[in-house]
Chain A
């Protein structure tokens, strides 16, 4: 407050141009004071956690522990990222391959295989290749996360654009349709997940409706209980919830295109498809970048739906990287290991968004 009164005194004492240097100094001080709360909070709750993610991931720190955390070097990363390949050969006349446990149990004499579990196996005749990982669930989480993003990003982006084109017409009552399409966006993802958990049940809405439509000849599917359908079911629901958001963004992009461009194209004899390809699509470039980047970031952070609907199951079919980080770091209280997962996840997110930005930039 002292600063405030002093600044006012100066301003009233002299004409504005006379006290250039003093004014600049008080300006700097005011700017520092005005940004201070935000800068301090961002430093405390974003910068510090990032630094902590680095330092914690090299310790065996736990959330609640009597023993102080010890540095463990790269042990967390070894466990997280460690993969080894075991080549097995079926002895002539033997009925089966030697058990993998002989290699992975503690003190087996094969340090590279110890404490690892099977990620997957490939058989070819009498040869078997076993891929072992320190944390197979992490690799499955990684696969599911990328699979989810790979499907949801184009589907949600594309459907959003289709809806935007649909509601970007001068029609009676069009605003009502926009509003309805946007309703799931304002509904909490937790509520949406609960609702769809019921819809997907063996005796839930979808199976019952399909039963009615097929006159009872439909065999109920446990959509979330089946490893093959669980992740696609969550993808569908996520698109349903989020697409309205991106429809509005596309719509805003569409409305920035000057109508004169369409008029010019019409004079040149362009049909509707050509207009889209030659006018609409190129003009939407900035919007496209934004839509792709935001959907990708949201898709890679998949957590809420999993936690409410499947808890990562069945058979790890829906576990994701963030879900795994929370499972280890919070539920199992292994903060050090959870931090290592977070760090790897952060590097992935950064990598994906950098690649994406570059790709979208180059294509123009």
Chain B
């Protein structure tokens, strides 16, 4: 009986957390008048009435949604993949190699974690507007309105380095010794011994960097005005113009959310353990 009773609060909370999302998905299928008409009853959460994909079709007339989506994928993949390389190498060196400056570098890397991005966003904006970049026509100044401004500042990540270091420290050193006797240098040990043993930590770091990259808002808002380089979340602004078409907004929001939700449902165990591992080490 007691067990049965605990399902009551469980279900209540489940409704609180999923009904708004269900409402979004359902409203994305309905014409605007019906969205408002359904609000007063449970129909708001059900796929009933005049159901169609019209809103989704109209979204593509309002904004270059495909382009935005592609940009988001490019930026997220860039941050995650380059981050894998840069942060795992640094984490490996800090975990495995004895080096005079090792402890200092580790301290500095961890010190960057106390700094929320919001505190440096404005000076960073100034900085990237002055940075040079080498092109085929020589140097050009200013990183605004590019992919690189959305990717490069976020590749190196103190927390990722820390997670990699923690993991590489846990690999037994006998493996290095054996590899060294076989004539391997550190680069080979990194590639052949350390990385193959690190699937889960790559998954954790990947998730923990991909989610904020996909969801970033403040930074692209400030640095990218060019429609061709904008990501999907910044596209939201196009819908809050003269008269607000809520059906389209719900469709666009669903388009942003559904891929992430699918990934989440497919890899939920990885998601949960990744998040959990951040807490245990913090």
Contact = CB atoms under 8 A, between A and B. Distances in A.
Contact of B99 (A4, A32, A53, A203): A32
A244 B109 contact: no
Interface stretch (B47-55, B133-141, B197-205, B273-281): B273-281
A217 B119 CA distance: 47
A187 interface: yes
A152 interface: no
B102 A37 contact: no
A85 interface: no
Q: Is the interface of A mostly helix, strand, loop or mixed?
A: helix
B122 A181 contact: no
B109 A249 contact: no
A314 interface: no
A301 B118 contact: yes
Contact of A345 (B118, B190, B272, B280): B118
B119 A52 contact: no
- Interface extent on A, as a size class? 35 or more
B278 A27 contact: no
A178 B272 contact: yes
Contact of B126 (A56, A178, A294): A56
A60 to B, nearest CB: 13
B123 A53 contact: yes
Interface string A1-27: 000100110011000100000001001
A8 B183 CA distance: 6
A32 B275 contact: no
Interface string B127-149: 10100000000000000000000
A209 B20 CA distance: 13
B63 interface: no
A204 interface: yes
A279 interface: no
A249 B13 contact: no
Interface string A253-271: 1001000000000000000
Contacts of B120: 46, 49-50, 53, 342, 346
Contacts of A297: 116
Contact of B161 (A38, A63, A350): A38
B163 interface: no
Interface string B229-261: 000010010000000001001100100110011
Given A31-B102, A187-B257, A303-B218, A208 B39 contact: yes
B190 to A, nearest CB: 8
**Smallest CB-CB A-B distances: 10 pairs:** A252-B276, A41-B156, A249-B279, A329-B122, A34-B93, A38-B90, A208-B39, A31-B99, A290-B282, A45-B153
Interface of A: 4, 7-8, 11-12, 16, 24, 27-28, 30-32, 34-35, 37-39, 41-42, 44-46, 48-50, 52-53, 56, 61, 63, 163, 166-167, 169, 171, 174, 177-184, 186-191, 194-196, 198-199, 203-205, 208-209, 211-212, 240, 244-245, 248-249, 251-253, 256, 286-287, 289-291, 293-294, 297, 300-301, 303-304, 307-308, 322, 325-326, 329-330, 335, 338-339, 341-342, 345-346, 349-350, 353
10 contacts: A63-B125, A184-B20, A186-B260, A187-B21, A191-B233, A198-B246, A286-B280, A339-B122, A349-B114, A350-B114
